[in-house]
Chains A and B, each alone.
Chain A
Amino acid sequence: MLLEVKNLTTEFKLKRGIVKAVDDISFTIDKGEILAIVGESGSGKSVTSLSIMGLLQNPGRVTGGQILYKSQDLNKLSRKEQQKLRGNQISMIFQEPMTSLNPVWRIKDQIMESIMLHMKLSKKEALARTIEMLETVGIPSAAQRANDYPHQMSGGMRQRVMTAMALACEPELLIADEPTTALDVTIQAQILELLYRMREKFHMAVMLITHDLGVVSEAADRVIVMYCGKIMEEADVRSLFNHPLHPYTIGLLKSIPQIDNDSDEPLYMIKGMVPNPLNMPKGCPFSDRCEQSMERCTQEMPQLREIDGHKVRCFLYDAKEGGSGKQ
């Protein structure tokens, strides 16, 4: 086990109240595994990754739980010790390749910075390593392009530079926050292919955060579905797509237009919208949009329970599990 997140809660203290962006979530990532976290905007998937990286900004704060990386608690480490891990053993690719590179630095200097810091190489060696990484991620004439500034590159190129930077120190865990969302499909295919190849080559684990279920089905080994800061369902990729359990997951899958579907019928719709985080329903956060909502759903929060290795947070499966499901 590489990373273990235990009961993580992250809150944002606002003037109008406290928003629990991430609410008591637990999961693990094994070595070499690709774990996908899916959810819509506001589901807490990005905040989860920022919490792990220790990059939360005010007023966000981790208020409970532990983040164990190789059994050491990341929150208990000093700033310096955290910095040793970040960019070295754990690194991150951000969603916006346009805004996450420094516009006034040549890309080689940006990549060399972390190599020199973590790998203790000389400038010359670091430059060689930078060019090698740029070649690995598929940038043509890498030695020349290394002298470019970010604005001289296209979106796909910049995302490759980000990826090269993240992979330069051979991290064991890569957190990729919507790495392909800003890109075109043909470029998306290139980047996913690259992540796959890098996983094989360096045997790194990937935490892939996305809202695109197509990307998940394509790339992930295991999937976590988040809604309003809670884990609603967790399963390996096959069982999630073949037998989704939670009404939210089922609704999401049905509401996407499928490329191999020729029917002209209207799409399935999940009615309503995500509740206001300052004014959450009392029971299950999905209860006001759920077609199978029962009296009980609006009153109490269902627990995440495991049925044959497939975890789901829904009262529908309490009854089916028989006696053992009762609390």
Chain B
Amino acid sequence: MSEVLMDIQDLAKHFVVDTNFFGKPVSVLKAVDGVSFSINKGEAFGLVGESGCGKTTLGKILVNLYSPTSGKLFFEGKDLTVLNEGQRRLYCKDIQMIFQDPYASLNPKMTVGDIIAEPILINGLLPKNQVEERVIYLLNCVGLARHQRNRYPHEFSGGQRQRVGIARALAVEPKIIVCDEPVSALDVSIQAQVLNLLGDLKEEFGLTYLFIAHGLNVVKHISDRVGVMYLGKLVEIAPKKELYANPQHPYTQALLSAIPVINPEKKMERIILEGDVPSPINPPAGCRFSSRCFKVQESCKLQEAKLKEVSPGHFVACHLFD
């Protein structure tokens, strides 16, 4: 069937917030804390969760902007976590990222042409005299005109800048692109343009996406499978249709019911969660969602729930399914 491109096993990233006099960590922020899933070749895997759940940190580990505290990361069967920095860098070309803020992710002092050419030159993919041709081709792919390569980022609108970011990611012919909230900073009418562009490029170049977003409707549109994160843990993974039609984890249910529906006739039965997401520095014991869960039991506060397959391809981490 489908081939696994990336396999993530028990990956964790802890940040030390405070150390004692002897340099021993006394306060640790567990941004990603034991996450396992795999991404198949040619699929778009959506990752949703609220701010602070660790979805961006996870994306940054995949593209080697952070090194993981523990766990394994297999890319095409090779464990990237055991490689040294130089060997690891060889794989960076295959795993690229599109960032959230199109205003902050482009160098304001470089022309758009130079921004797109830079990764090609660094990786030595093409002789210098062919680079310009390639840049023009990439600009065309993302719907920009060839003459725009001589302009600077400030001359572009948010949607166009995001296109430049996409062209830069495509420049090194990656196998997988981590899209970190690529449309959340854009206006509604521009969002649709960028989402469709991402969809077209995936077909054209046979790309695989890890699509990180907090907008559940956007994730639903673009993904094949979806994982839901809460406080550094995956709480549910399922094929898209299954997840939206039949959410099992109480958090997923609440998250889905909180989305305003564009239909004034239909008032949803809403599950309103109480309180805020707890701090990842001192997460609640047991299941991390237990402090806000509306189906909480005694056992939830004692023991962490593990991901279990409740129906084919549908995994849930909740004590309700023990």
Residues of A within 8 A of B (CB): 40-41, 140, 154-157, 184-190, 192-193, 211-215, 217-219, 237-238, 241-242, 251-253, 255-260, 262, 266-271, 273-274
Contacts and interface: CB of A to CB of B under 8 A. Distances in A.
A251 B192 CA distance: 10
A273 to B, nearest CB: 6
B260 to A, nearest CB: 3
The prevalent SS among residues of B at the interface is helix
22 contacts: A154-B276, A185-B216, A187-B276, A189-B272, A218-B267, A219-B260, A237-B264, A238-B265, A241-B264, A253-B262, A255-B188, A256-B217, A257-B192, A257-B218, A257-B221, A259-B220, A259-B256, A259-B261, A262-B241, A267-B192, A269-B192, A273-B160
Chain B interface size band reads: 35 or more
Interface of B: 50-51, 157, 159-160, 187-193, 195-196, 199-200, 214, 216-218, 220-221, 241, 244, 254-265, 267, 270, 272-273, 275-277
Give the interface centre of A184, A193, A213, A270 by most chain B CB atoms within 10 Å: A184
B261 A260 contact: yes
A120 B201 CA distance: 63
The prevalent SS among residues of A at the interface is helix
A36 B193 CA distance: 25
A217 B187 contact: no
Contacts of B260: 188, 192, 212, 214-215, 217-219
Nearest to B193: A269
A130 B261 CA distance: 34
A238 B264 contact: yes
A212 B184 CA distance: 12
B155 to A, nearest CB: 11
B247 to A, nearest CB: 12
Given A186-B272, A217-B263, A267-B221, 20 more contacts: A40-B187, A41-B187, A184-B51, A185-B50, A185-B259, A186-B258, A189-B257, A190-B273, A211-B187, A211-B188, A252-B188, A255-B191, A257-B220, A258-B217, A266-B199, A266-B200, A267-B195, A269-B189, A269-B192, A271-B193
A154 B256 CA distance: 22
B159 A40 contact: no
B192 A268 contact: yes
Contacts of A186: 50, 254-255, 258, 272-273
Contacts of A214: 259-262
Contacts of A259: 216-217, 220, 244, 256, 259, 261
Contacts of A260: 261
A251 B193 CA distance: 12
A185 B51 CA distance: 10
B272 A190 contact: yes
B224 to A, nearest CB: 10
